[in-house]
Amino acid sequence: MLDALPCTEGQIRVRTLEYGDAALFARGSSDESVKRNGHLPLSDYTEDVVREQIDGDIADGLADGSLAVLAIADAGSDEFLGSIVLFNVRADSAEVGFWLAPWGRGRGAARDALSAAARIAAHQGLTFLEARTAPDNQASRRTLLSAGYRQVGEPQTVTAPSGAAFTALTFERSVAEFRCNV
């Protein structure tokens, strides 16, 4: 996936997570909305934990194409705004998850990051992306719809990356028409 990065869309850039992002990642992931809706694998992140993950699971996943934990950054300043993740990568599809820190919200960053993720996925030869969100997460639902996703099926119990079960709506979109402009 590294050959499709960074990928700029609108006012944001999706790029690899860097050591310099560790403090803002830790701070952003401690936000109550992120804790409630992000379904992150760990309940708490510190700068050291983020740096360890960058060198460990994140590097391994990027190298073998099975996982991409990426930064959502401001295209002008390169400030870390949140994270977007491609996971559950299969032959033709992957699941995408995202969260924004409080200082990254309200500017269309998540929508643009989802478009960038679609370009990255298409560059990898994938044809569609899936996303899941809780039925009561109206902001995420609006964002997914505005990014071209459509809801499929009824709510169902799924397992989050954290290992917790939750009720989710599934959304999907074709990415075959996308290519990344690095």
The per-residue b/e assignment along 9-44, b for 16 or more CB within 10 angstroms, e otherwise, is: beebbbbbbeeebbebbbebbebeebeebbbbeeee
> 157 pLDDT exceeds 70?
yes
Give the pLDDT score at 105.
97
Cα–Cα distance, 88 to 158 (Å, whole number): 13
Would you call 55 exposed, middle or buried from its count of C-beta atoms within 10 A (0-12, 13-18, 19+)? Answer: exposed
- The CATH architecture assigned to 2-174 reads 3-Layer(aba) Sandwich (3.40)
Q: Is the pLDDT of residue 180 over 60?
A: no
Note the pLDDT of residue 2.
80
Per-residue pLDDT reduced to its tens digit, 100-154:
999 999 999 999 999 999 999 999 999 999 999 999 999 999 999 999 999 999 9
**pLDDT of amino acid 163:** 85
Per-residue pLDDT of 61-78, as tens digits, reads 999 999 999 999 999 999
- Residue 145, both tokens: 């719809």
> Is a pLDDT exceeding 70 seen at residue 38?
yes
User: What's the length of the chain?
Assistant: 182
Residue 179 has a pLDDT of 56
The ranges assigned to domains in the chain are: 2-174
